[in-house]
Amino acid sequence: MVESLERARIDAPGRSNLAPDTNDYWVELDRRHRIQSRHTHPICLTRGEGAWLWDVANNKYLDFESGQICASVGHSNPTYVAAVKEQLDKLVQTGSCYIDATQVRFQEKLASTTGGHFQQSFLACSGSESNEAALRLAKSYTGRSEVVSFMGNYHGHTFGAWSITGFGDKARAGFGPPMPGVTFLPTPYDYVMPGEPRYAYRDESVIAACVRFCEKMLDATTSGKPAAIVVELLQSAAGVRPLPIPFVQAIRRICDERGALMIADEAQTGLGRLGSWWGFEKFEVVPDIVTASKTLGGGAPLSAILVSSRLGQEAVLRGYRQSSSHTGDPLLCAAGLATIEIIENKDLLRNVRTVGGYLKEELQKLCDASPIGGEMRGEGFLLGLELVRSKQSGQPNGEATQLFTDECRKRGLLTGWWPVPYLAANVVRLMPAYTLTMAEAQEALSIVEASLKAVGRTGAV
């Protein structure tokens, strides 16, 4: 490590005033060469092990982002590393015109996690790609072009995925018109108007009224027969907002009545993060298409769309075509196969449920005891800690949220919050690796408690 750092000093002339074993050195070099299109924390990471990360100055952090929700089975999991190394020695990439045993075994294993609902898949490298493929399949299969999405959905930054992402303001400004034929509808969270009770979105009558409004808007602003309705079962970027089960079931009904395909974007809820293989299991519905990414590759860039054999075969007969230079790469499939097998063999779904349930309960106690603490949202290892100005109003407290995040990082806990204008400004996401132990959870809780106390009443009214 020292030799490589010294090499970096030589390769970066004019930097002798900063030592390469400091975070500042690498942050400054990063600012010279990377387009600074998003916020980054002022640390340079060098290695990881399980739920832990280390930076160049050998500071240690408990990672509650798990590589932006990707390193599902922990950093540098020995079984995972061994499987990837073994494949690396054999075959890395084949292109789209060939198959290989690792790809076939992975897709067979992936299908086995779906309870028999989905037998076929198309593989890609990112969540955006999988959503593009899902839109393409839905349009080809139905012969229609309109797509319905929801306020608060996040689906990616490629053109189609960005076009169906339900954020406005700076998420839209400056990029020109999105894909035509997209309609956005409210979820119960956005249907509730200012001045109504804080948790009105949970009320059965409000949910039912929101469904009726969605159907009215669908008929009033579209042909009424879209190709697909795209849903994020738990709207993570919008503030870790689980959709009410009756609302999701109503979406399924609307799709059935209108001949539209229901697409569930499970980039963040799929493959175990909620304590079940798939998020749709918790909503008692079965989508027509599931898109998966992030956790799927255990840190490697791997994504997929999943469909039934009937839908997959019929879509091809109706003209669906999809390809990529990196669809089903053996190296990526080895990572995905290892991820699923580790989750199975180590009973990590149970760990997510057990430790995740404990975390949520204890974090809610800490929020209740803090003057700026709101509610804990989410499930399993996809949790959201809300900070408010007033417990009565629930008004967002962005100032305290940023300070809290900084305090956690100073104490060695990395949390999922970034100052992006269109994301939830007052919800800190907690998304550890599935291997998190109870002792590590307790260490995180102690840091959260100390950080809440350090922030005090900042922003409270």
Q: Which pair of structure tokens corresponds to residue 339?
A: 């991820």
> Cβ neighbours of residue 242 under 8 Å, at least 6 residues apart?
233, 234, 235, 377, 378, 379
**Rounded Cα distance, 366 and 453, in Å:** 10
pLDDT number for residue 422:
67
Q: How far apart are CA 335 and CA 85, in angstroms?
A: 10
Measured distance CA(149)–CA(298) in Å, rounded: 28
DSSP string, 213-268: HHHHHHHHHS-S--SEEEE-SEETTTTSEEPPHHHHHHHHHHHHHHTPEEEEE-TT
Q: How many residues does the chain have?
A: 461
Nearest to 213 by CA among 191, 193, 245, 194: 191
Q: Is 145 exposed, middle or buried (0-12, 13-18, 19+ CB in 10 A)?
A: middle
Task: Name which of 340, 457, 445, 350 is nearest 403 in CA terms.
Answer: 457
This prediction has a pTM of 0.94
pLDDT score recorded for residue 446: 98
User: How far is 172 from 389, CA to CA, in rounded Å?
Assistant: 28
- CA-based nearest residue to 349, from 274, 242, 441: 274
Q: What is the chain's pLDDT, residue by residue, as a tens digit (461 residues)?
A: 444 544 444 355 455 478 889 999 999 999 999 998 878 889 999 999 999 999 999 999 999 999 999 999 999 999 999 999 999 999 999 988 999 999 999 999 999 999 999 999 999 999 999 999 999 999 999 999 999 999 999 999 999 999 999 998 888 888 899 999 999 999 999 999 877 888 899 999 999 999 999 999 999 999 999 999 999 999 999 999 999 999 999 999 999 999 999 999 999 999 999 999 999 999 999 999 999 999 999 999 999 999 999 999 999 999 999 999 999 999 999 999 999 999 999 999 999 999 999 999 999 999 999 999 999 999 999 999 999 999 988 999 999 999 999 999 999 999 988 777 667 889 999 999 999 999 999 999 999 999 999 999 999 99
Predicted confidence at residue 87, as pLDDT, reads 98
- Pull the structure tokens for residue 127: 């969540």
